[in-house]
Amino acid sequence: VGGLGMAPGANVGDELGVFEATHGTAPKYAGQDKVNPASVILSGVLMFQYMGWNEVGALVESGIERAILKKQVTYDLARQMEGNVKPLKTSEFGQAIVDNF
């Protein structure tokens, strides 16, 4: 999976769904622009799928996949990859996702 920064979460009932990152908060990283936002973004993908917005969900998911394949990742994933991978800031990773739509 890549770690807690990657796993999305969904709580779906008969009529409603709630979507959230599976990890807890990390106040010590607040304002540092360094954590992996993929968990909450992928939770958004699950929400789009739940709402029937499959094309939007697929677009976002493909942006994440392409960014990872290009090694455009935050520090938690960079340290797991082979080679000299320069970690991106949170904001840079978000932009890489959009650029890879």
Residues 32-69: tens digit of each pLDDT: 999 999 999 999 999 999 999 999 999 999 999 999 99
pTM: 0.91
Long-range contacts of 51-55 (CB under 8 A, 24+ apart): none
Pairing state between β 17-21 and 8-12? antiparallel
The ranges assigned to domains in the chain are: 8-26+34-99
Whole-number mean pLDDT of the chain?
A: 94
